[in-house]
Each structure stands twice: as C-alpha cells, then as structure tokens.
Chains A and B, each alone.
Chain A
C-alpha cells in the first residue's frame, strides 16, 4: 500500500513518455508532456507526506499539529506554473508549425527540415 503513490508516478511517467515517443500530432504531444510532468507532482507530494499529518495551513488548527512538508508543496506549485507556461509555448509552436509546414505531425516536420 505504501508504495502505491510511487507506482502511480512511475506509471504516469512511462505512459506519458510512450505517448510522446509514438505521438503523431503536436497537440497530442503537448498533452503527453503534461502527463509526464504530473508524475513529478506525485513524486514531490508523496515524498513530503507525513503519516496522519494535516495540511500545512495553521489557520484553524493548533500550532503543534503534525503537518506535511510545506516545501515540496511549494515546489509542486512552481512545477505547475512551469508546466502551464511550457504547454502554452509548445502549443504556440504547434500553431506556427501548422502555418509554416501545413502539418502538425512531428515525423513530417523532421523530413521537411532535412
């Protein structure tokens, strides 16, 4: 039971990577990239989890309560922001690829450049 979060993270990583490798569409590729990145959230959050710990919000719990690690949660927030900007960039590049080459298939783009 206690390895389940890590197994899920590994599964998300592998299945996202598989999607990227076999992708035939740049938008599909961007979505697969977000799947890979979501595995990093899971690793970060589950490595900072403390058994029976509450959320690190001390607004209405006594200050001595055991809480999970706030640092990895802050890092996950950073991760999410970076992911959303990367997705926007990749999608913008996909729009330009469609306009320039008339295709969003990564394989086709490689042939054009060579």
Chain B
C-alpha cells in the first residue's frame, strides 16, 4: 500500500505518513524531552517509547518515499530505504530493512574492509561493534549516539551464535515472540535518539522501571495514540500487500481517503527528524 513503485504512491504515502502519523505523534512524544518526562506515569513512558518508534519510522519512511516518488517523476529510480523493519525477527534482519542506504554503506565501506566475518569469531564481533559504534557516531558526535550504536552492535553480537538454532525453530508463535523482542529492544534504544544527552536518556530509562509518584501526571489520549499509530501497524501487518494484489482496484480510493485525512488531521508542522543528522 505504501510502496513507492509509482511516483503518485510514493509522494502520497510519504506525505500521509509524515503529516498524519509523524507530526501528530510528535505532539505526544515531545513529552519525552527533558524535563517534561518527569511528569509522565510509568506506563506512559513505555507507551511513548513505542509511539516514538512509530514516529521515527513514519517520519523517515515518509521523507524517503517522497524522495523516491519525486525521483521517479524525473526518471531516477532511487533504491528503497525501508522494507517493513518492525517485522524483523532478528537484529541482523532489522538492519537489512531499516535505513537500507546507510546500512549498505556501512557494510560495504566499513564492515567488509575491516575483514567482515573472515578472521574468526572474535574479530567478527569486534568488527560488528566498531561498525555499529561508528554508525551511531554518524548521527552525531555525542555519547548518546555512540551508546545507541554500540548497544545495537552488542545485540548483533549476542544473537549471532544463536541465529542458526533460532532459525531451526519455525512456528508462528515463536516467530511472533522473536518479532516482539526485536521491536521492544529497537524501540527502547530509540530513547538515545530522542534524548541525545546520555544522563537524560538514562533518567528516562530508569523511570520506565520505577513506579511513578507524580500526583498530577501528564494525561495521554490513548485513543488518539492508536489512531495515529494505526497506519504504521496496518502497513506492517501486511495489509499493504493485500492492496497491491487482491484489492488493487481499491488503491485510488484508499489514496484519495489518505489525502483527505492528511488534509483534515495533519499534525502541527515539524521538520523531518533526520534533517539534524
């Protein structure tokens, strides 16, 4: 549904995800900033982490889809940058689906020249940590970004010896559990993105595991949170593929409704998150 194989699809779906999903979710996730997060209840801290996960995806996917759509209008076929990253069942798979242009660059120009996996197990682990650490620093020269990269590297290292064994267990529930774990970990690590100041990020994380004592906490509209997150969930649950195949006839109506919705319900204007990197 949000694939950008045609210019119109890319541009419309990109603007929809940016204006309707990302900009509206940004209103909520702004409460993750320091010191506003001190007013949040524990369960809302958790929810905001997931909402930020949807927001950063919608924001960056939207930006990439618009670029791909505009590129197609001028005859340039740009590579896709996202391929449903939140359905990944391993961290290594996540990095083949998220920000594909950057992860491809890191693999080609850092991981492979460092020796990749050709010099033994421990050297492979070291290479993964170096590449992900530098990948983190690519986003900004801060301890938070470095930690974000290194923690992703650590997750890649930890899962690597288990991958073959995990792949041999192939039933739906287990795959769903793996998907949940990957989504949970990736979402929690976005905190270092949202709060580049390392102390603030640790403060937020600590609050996620501490009962809130604030008697006048920020109120969060759960119904609105669901409403704005729904497009990302629908896309990831495979309804997009359904519209590409069996419901292809309904595609123009869907895009028309999306255009109306983003006109009626666009969130306040905010710049694209990745503009800062």
Asked if A pairs with B, the answer is: no
Q: Which residues of A contact B (CB under 8 A)?
A: none
Q: Which residues of B contact A (CB under 8 A)?
A: none
